[in-house]
Amino acid sequence: MLVVIDIGTVNIAKLIDIFNDHFVWQVQQSGIAHQVLKGQSAGSPLQLGQAGDNLDVLGSFVLPNNTFIQQLNSLAVAKNLIGTDSADKVIIRQSSGNLLQIKDVNNNIIAVMDSSGNFTTLGYANVDPPAPPVLNGSTSGTLTIYEVFRGANFKIVRAAFNNFRNGGASTQQLALPTAFVSGVMFWSGDIPGVNFMSGGIVHNSQTLTALAAGGGTTAANSIFANDSFGRTDLCDTIRVTASNASAHTGDIFMVGA
């Protein structure tokens, strides 16, 4: 090991030390040396800053594809935290504690995801799909479909009629963003007559007609209307009947898969 450059001040003799195989670069603030850059011949080749100091990045911090920002855990093992994979997908990984926490400005936990993907939040989910499909009634109003959950095994739809009236001689229809393919339960408020469609075919609904302790009674209907509760097997489109005599403001809620 050979000292090549040794530079300091009156108070601190060695602020900059450059050897033939490593270096240390420091600055002096209020008579105290602060490491800003260090090149090492063992361990991590390069260190920025020092423990207890802040590191300000004034420009963009750029990571190449398939690299990660790492955390040195309590066992002194480096673990990937955030980065991109070879397909440019952003990856966020849990630490060795197998918990991903989100905290507020006061360091209070507001959300947690565990190693099984279970997500717990202390707030509420403000789910509002962008650009939901909308159908204008031929006479007045609108039908808007909000499909807030679209999973293969769980879907929720709110079909919202707002002063909707189809007074014309032809039916009107609006497709769901994602179809129900394994059954759906529904209930309705103040709505016009409606068909559940799939593949261009009307699918009958089993609409509840009576309640009983041993099980209720249903009737098969191709058209259901206001204040109904029931089920059907498939649905990719809601079709509204023609020649509505009045406007309707109400909802259909649909839950299924």
CATH code of the domain in which 245 resides: 2.60.120
Q: What is the pLDDT of residue 226?
A: 92
Closest CA to 231 of 182, 161, 192: 182
- pLDDT beneath 50, residues of the chain: none
Distance (Å, whole) CA 242 – CA 223: 12
Query: How many domains is the chain built from?
Result: 3
Domain identity same for 247 and 207: yes
Residue 53 in any domain: the answer is no
Q: Identify the bridge partners of residue 6 per DSSP, sorted by sequence position.
A: 17
What pairing do the DSSP bridges indicate for beta strands 140-150 and 155-165?
antiparallel
Domain identity same for 93 and 25: no
Domain identity same for 106 and 167: no
Q: What is the pLDDT of residue 240?
A: 98
Q: What is the pLDDT of residue 2?
A: 66
Domain identity same for 32 and 99: no
- In 124-203, DSSP assigns E strands to 134-136, 140-150, 155-165, 172-180, 184-188, 194-198, 201-203
Q: Print the domain residue range for 250.
A: 134-256
Domain identity same for 73 and 42: no
Q: What is the pLDDT of residue 4?
A: 74
Q: What is the pLDDT of residue 80?
A: 86
Domain identity same for 157 and 109: no
Domain identity same for 76 and 185: no
Distance (Å, whole) CA 92 – CA 112: 14
Looking from the CA of 142 toward its CB, the CA atoms found within 13 Å total 7
Residue 145 in any domain: the answer is yes
Domain identity same for 148 and 250: yes
Q: Which two tokens stand for residue 156?
A: 């929720």
Domain identity same for 103 and 149: no
Residue 62 in any domain: the answer is no
Look at the pTM and tell me if it is higher than 0.75.
no
Q: What is the pLDDT of residue 238?
A: 98
Closest CA to 237 of 250, 252, 219: 252
Q: What is the pLDDT of residue 236?
A: 98
Residue 56 in any domain: the answer is no
